[in-house]
């Protein structure tokens, strides 16, 4: 299924999302943001980072334009790695929450 392109969002983002959808035999990835936005400045990015929010398996994640460009250039390997890291981090958070629940119930 082709995504309906929003002129506000770069085609590079749509390409990166299509590659992520192919990760691990099919991953649910959708663009959540209606338009691009810039994150708040911090010590690592004094002007903020430009990007969009996306869903990966019901997890909302910020996808920067620079990561999108890298995924588009380096292809499926980087898309798989990005999706894997997101899912791995969420799994770790779930385990920590379960351990905390068990600990507080004692």
Tens-digit pLDDT profile for residues 51-106: 999 999 888 999 999 999 999 888 888 999 999 999 999 999 888 888 777 767 65
87-93, long-range: CB < 8 A, 24+ apart: 87/56, 87/57, 87/59, 90/57, 90/59
pLDDT of residue 62: 93
Catalogue the E-assigned strands of the chain. Answer: 29-31, 37-38, 50-56, 59-64
Q: Confidence class of residue 6 from pLDDT cuts 50, 70 and 90? A: low
Q: Which pLDDT value is given to residue 3? A: 44
């Amino acid at each position: 299924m082709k995504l309906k392109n929003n002129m506000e969002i770069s085609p590079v983002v749509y390409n990166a999302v299509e590659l992520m959808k192919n990760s691990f035999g099919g991953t649910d990835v959708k663009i959540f943001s209606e338009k691009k936005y810039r994150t708040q400045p911090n010590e690592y990015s004094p002007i903020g980072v430009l990007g969009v929010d996306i869903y990966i398996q019901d997890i909302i994640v910020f996808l920067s334009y620079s990561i999108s460009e890298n995924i588009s250039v380096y292809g499926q390997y980087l898309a798989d790695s990005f999706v894997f890291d997101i899912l791995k981090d969420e799994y770790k958070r779930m385990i920590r929450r379960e351990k905390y629940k068990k600990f507080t119930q004692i």
